[in-house]
Amino acid sequence: MKSKFATTLGLLALGLSAAQGQEVKLNIPGQPAAAAAAPAKPAFSESQLIEEFGWFVGKRVGLAELELSAEEIAIFLKGLSGAAAGKDSPYELEKIGPAMDEFMQKKQAAYLAKLKNKSMAENVAFFAKLKENKAVVELPSGLRYEIVSPGSGPAPKPAETVKVHYTGKLLDGSTFDSSVERKEPAEFQLDQVIPGWTEGLQKLSKGGKIKLYVPPHLAYGDDGRPGIPPGSTLIFDVELLDIKAAAAPAPAVPGAK
């Protein structure tokens, strides 16, 4: 398991490296010693640094996601204090470990279920409102799309590779991914991405732009992804820059099985 404190340890290592690389100044007899510079006043007090470190640890372990009660937080702090004091585990890890794993899994499942239910309610309200936009087309699969500009020429086929610029957002307007911000177009085979993209980009031609409204069952479903809660509807603004034909199959070798 990787250390939860990798960032802090890395910063400490950088500090040591900087210290080791400092120039050594010698006081040569007969020369006036340089006046010592007054030490700079620390930007933060030690108590502030310790408080921030506590927040950092809690954030990294996902403490908020466990939604502990006030009583449970007090018990958690008791265990943390014991570890800080160098005490041994209050229970035998081999015996309590499986029960602790089960407890944590239940907490996580409850949190994910809460996120999913929240997303479902938001999805229903969003798609009901979207019906008012007459430019939006709804497909039998549940995908909605809006052609911003159609482009020209044939639409891409599932086995072809497309080159695109895109921005993906959640219903709250926050961006979770963007090739535009990275300033680097993305390329991928059309049938190797989420179903909403595979179906939606076949409604577009080279040079065209489309807005995709992808319900969760055509995106990442209940699994979610980093920055994407479970059950999320995703909104993509996509520009189809190029279409590359699928590679021709290798010719059959006579006598080969």
Q: Read off the pLDDT of each residue in 119-127 and give the average, rounded to a whole number.
A: 96
State pTM to two decimals.
0.69
pLDDT for position 253: 57
Of 145, 213, 220, 228, the catalytic one is: 220
On the question of pLDDT at 16 being above 50, the answer is: no
Residue 126 predicted with pLDDT over 90: yes
Measuring CA to CA, how many Å separate 62 from each of 57, 91, 113, 224, 233?
A: 9, 23, 16, 16, 24
pLDDT at residue 107 tops 50: yes
Read off the pLDDT of each residue in 106-134 and give the average, rounded to a whole number.
Answer: 93
pLDDT of residue 224: 80
Is 137-244 in CATH node 3.40.50.2020? Answer: no
- Residue 186: pLDDT band by 50, 70, 90 thresholds? very high
Averaged pLDDT for residues 112-132: 94
220 has catalytic annotation: yes
Model confidence band, residue 30 (pLDDT cutoffs 50, 70, 90) = low
pLDDT category of residue 250 using cuts at 50, 70 and 90: low
pLDDT level of residue 31 (50, 70, 90 thresholds): low
Active site residue 172: no
Q: Is 176 noted as a catalytic residue in this protein?
A: yes
| Residue 177 annotated among the catalytic residues of the structure | yes
